Amino acid sequence: MTPPKSKRVRLAPVFGMDAEARSALANLEALGRSGKVAVAGRFMPDAGIGGRLAAKGITEEIEEADFFRYSQVVIPFSGISPLKRKAWERAGVPLVDLTSPQVRRAQVALGLLRMDGAQPLVIGRHADAESKALAEGNPGTRILEDTTDTARLAFAPAFGVVCQTTLSPRKVSWLVQQLRLRYNDASVTFLDTLSPAMSARSHSLEKLMADCDRVVIVGQAGEASCEALAETAMRKGLPSLIAGSVEDLGMEDLSGRIALTAGAFALDSTIRRIADALVAC
């Protein structure tokens, strides 16, 4: 997307969907043109994508009992438990796996840590489908969202840790540090499974904010990558707004210079509409 022609609105150098997310969405849309397709969950956590898929006749969040109604059942970008996938394969479900390669990497990494005898941990968000997919593949895995979760852990001689791919890099680093400080008699092995694109989004926003007064993040409020970018803004003391549509801009104070970025699942068309609205206001 070309930068908005405005001195007041500055677009972050890295923002929005990465190449892997774009490819997965394109593959799903191609499947939808060839048959009756459903997704075993939300394909990506963004209302814009949900609306786009519905318009193309692709059903999301299908119940397992209704799998037989579809020619193909798609595993969402956030993944599912490998145990669940194997069970569905044994049952003959016509699966198409569009799990993010980064999520697959995190699943494999956590499995290897568990095989080495470590207590498996996922730094993530309890309600997030990706964190659940990582944790459910290894029995006994705990999700760490904050220091309260760390404090509730039972001591183990060894902890093996991975992270949800769309978190704030600084938050992940901080929680690993807190885990090591609290259990300094334990071995803590952390394998960084953060998406390189997420790190790039966060770092590019940090650089841009030095010359800006506020941040607008295109995406869905509550979605992990958008909240991670909001955390980045908060650390710099700048107000931020997560907007999934032009209407979400509402009556917010949008004065001063604006740093514009986007979460991991924001559509280019949504980013363009919001950028144009910000330039015009």
Q: How do the pLDDT tens digits run along the chain, 281 residues long? A: 666 666 789 999 999 999 999 999 999 999 999 889 999 999 999 999 999 999 999 999 999 999 999 999 999 999 999 999 999 999 999 999 999 999 999 999 999 999 999 999 999 999 999 999 999 988 899 999 999 999 999 999 999 999 999 999 999 999 999 999 999 999 999 999 999 999 999 999 999 998 899 999 999 999 999 999 999 999 989 999 999 999 999 866 788 999 999 999 999 999 999 999 998 87
Q: Say how far apart CA 205 and CA 261 lie, in whole Å.
A: 7
pTM listed for this prediction: 0.92
CB of 182 closer than 8 Å to CB of 211: no
- The whole-angstrom separation of Cα 256 and Cα 186 is 49
Cα(191)–Cα(197) distance, integer angstroms: 17
Q: Which residues contact 247 (CB under 8 A, 6 or more apart)?
A: none
Give the number of other CB atoms < 10 A from CB of residue 44.
Answer: 29
The number of CA neighbours under 13 Å toward the Cβ of 144 is: 26
Dist CA 191 CA 120 (whole Å) = 11
Element (H, E) at 64: none
